[in-house]
Structures are given as structure tokens and as C-alpha cells.
Structure 1
Amino acid sequence: MAPRSPRSGVALGVCGGIMKLLFLTLAASTWTHTTYAEGLMTDDDYMEMTAGPYFLSVGTRNITTPVGQTAYLHCRVAQLGDFAQVSWIRKRDLHVMSSGVVVFASDQRFQVIHPDKSENWTLQIKYAQLRDAGVYECQVNTEPKMFISYVLSVVESRATIVGPEYVKAGSTINLTCIINQLNMQGLVYWYHNRDILDYEGTVRISTRENHEGTVSHLTIKEATPKDSGNYTC
């Protein structure tokens, strides 16, 4: 911490908070129009070819979530009928995590979210940890079996703050937080001492991605002595 002038200066302490996150990477799934066992087809394709279950698109399966937060693996199945079941499988040990909404995992962080009459069968992992890394499959017990795969990669991210340690009262504070991971927009927060900073008044926060990862800029105009303290992202 730089020395503080009681009359005309604002002393800043900056610390790069360690940010932990999950990185879910999409596993490649191959399919053809003559194989129903795996992959995704368009709704029209399947409606023409089968009256049985088929997977609906869930958009991206490349999901990022911080360690300690909740991860969601979304699986949507149409025309499931009265007899087919949706299951989640952890590939590393072939452990059946769930069948329908019944969860077999002893770890209570795992749950299946399935609203009544919904096509969604979402595997929810609360308080995601490094040990949760691996391949997960959403399966339907048709003959042959249908499935889509997800790869859950867990990494730890670090944040570094760049900026001055001392500015004059009345000037502008400019601090930059560099995070070595992408897809962090909406997940970056700035703190002054223990208080979260809001996007209001003289405070401006902007977050974007570049070749370094995710970059967040904090600007505080017309700084006063009360703006002295530690800043964390």
C-alpha cells in the first residue's frame, strides 16, 4: 500500500483475486441420417424417419462456470413416450448417475431437473469441484441406444490487476483486471475493500474478451479520499 496524503491523495491497494471456474468442452459426436444411436438431427429429419424419441438441440454444449458455482448440462428429448428413460452416465467409471429423475449418485450435489411434461432433462452439479472433470453422457434406453456426450473440464483461473497505487484527489482511477480464461463476461465482479461495486454514479465497469482472455476495466471519476483502499476483481 502506497503512503496516503491526508489532504490531496487517494491510496489504492490492488489485489488480484483468484478466480476458479469450470470449463465444459463439447465432446465431438458423430452421426449420420442412417444411424439413430447417437448425435443430433433436426426435428424435421427425425419426424420423417421415426416416431420414437429423438434429441432436440440445446444450443452450445460448451459451458463455463466458476468452481463453487452450479454447472448445468442440458439434455432435451422429444417423443420420449411412456417406456423410454433418460439417464446420465459418468464415463470415467461408467457410473449411472440417474435414471429419470431418480439420482443414484451418493454425492448430493448431483440432481436431475425435469419439470413436469417437459422435454428437458438437466444434470445439475452444485458447488462444482475439480474432481467433477470428465465425460458425461445423456442416454435414452432405445434399441439401439441413443446418447450425446459432454466433456467437463475443470480449471483454475487467475486474475491480475494492473493500475496505479496512488492517484491525486479529483483525478480518475483506472484499473484493469486480466483473467486468463474466456467466456467470463457476466461473471466478473469488482470489490472496494469488502463492498461490491455497482455500475452507478462515478463508477464505470466494462468487460470484454481479447487474445489474453477476459479483460475488465474499472473507472472511477473524480476520486476522493473515501475511494482509498483495496480493490479486488
Structure 2
Amino acid sequence: MNKLFPAAIASIVGFAAPAMAEDFDGPYIQVGIGAAEGKSDMDFGSWFHEQPSDTQISGTMAAGYAHSFGRFNLGANIAYVLGNQNAGRTVQDYAPNPDEKNDAISVRMKNMWSVNLEPGVRVGSRGLLYGKLSYSWAKGTWRIDRPLFGDTTTGKMNLKGYGLGAGYKHNVAGQLYGFTEVQKTWFNKQDVAVTFDTSTYHDYYDTTSASAIVGIGFRF
């Protein structure tokens, strides 16, 4: 995913060519599908500190409005990510014992929404190149499985954060257009209290989500 993100930006820029541009004004809806990487910086104090990640197929839906100011365009939309996203899983030992059962720690995200501002410039005969500024929120779940003790501990997180991205829209025919975009979101760091037996520990999760998608849209 780290290689995919800059490559996708390069391909978006490659679409652009100066000329007369198609009108992208008015309300619109769009759907997209692509790859998403969820990543969690897990800090368990003196136990371990790792940054596991997961890559999966991801879908989005969005509805918004755009208006042109000469060659420039300003759009805004609200978007929803379909399905759940795994955001990293790691397995840890208590001690270097080959016969010991290991603990598994994982993070998942769901119900991810975002409000997006998309300033852009009309390019080519049918195109719009735009940036993305986003405010996002999602529900997160952390899980610790301890086979050695036969228990599982879970908890919920309210994730909120800001994102940056870029995209390109291309008019296909009439009011129908295709698009491709990349985006990365940084969520707020979570301080989680975990109690095992009678002892309470503070763990920290710093989660991000990066995606590259393609899709179609319709302007009304």
C-alpha cells in the first residue's frame, strides 16, 4: 500500500492536459471500489511497540454538490465506507518460551463517515483535478486474545480524525463520469485502560486509514 499510494497520485496527475473543460456543477452521487490499508501504532508500554497493518477491498458511497468559479471548482460531499476494515493484528509473547501460547492483539474499524471539501481545477476537455480535505469519524474495536489464560478482552473506540487526498474526474457521456482518487486519514490517539485480574494497564492505539479507489458518478 505504501507503494500504491504515490503511484496512484502519479496516475491521477497524468490524466491532466490543458484545454476546454466539461462542466462539473451541481449535485451528484458516486460509488467506488478499491484497496484500503488500515494501520495501528500499538504502544503497550514496556511490553511492546509495533505498527501492524491490513490491506483489504473497500467500497465507498458519496453524495455532494459542486460549483465552478471560472476554471476553478469547489465541491463538498459526505461519504461512507462500506463494510469493516481490519487495522492491524500482532502476536506477542510474555516470555521467550517456545511452548507458550501467544497473545493476539487486533484493531478493527467500521461505520466510517467523512465530510469532504474538494477544491479543484478543470483540465483537459472533460476533466477535473481536485484535492481533498476531510474530517472523518468511525467506530473502532480493539481485541486481546490470551490463549494461555483462556480469555478475550475487547473494547470500543470513538475514532475522529482529518484526511488529505487527491482525485481526478472524467466526463464519460452526458451526466455520467468516472473518477479515481487516493486519500489518507489520521485518527486521534486512543488511551485504553485494560484490566487483567486486579491490575490495570494503559495501552495506546494510533490508527490510520489509506485508500485508492476508482468509481463512477452521476451529476443531476
Compute the TM-score of the two structures, normalised by the length of structure 1.
0.27
Compute the TM-score of the two structures, normalised by the length of structure 2.
0.28
Structure in which a larger fraction of residues adopt strand: 2
Structure showing greater radius of gyration is: 1
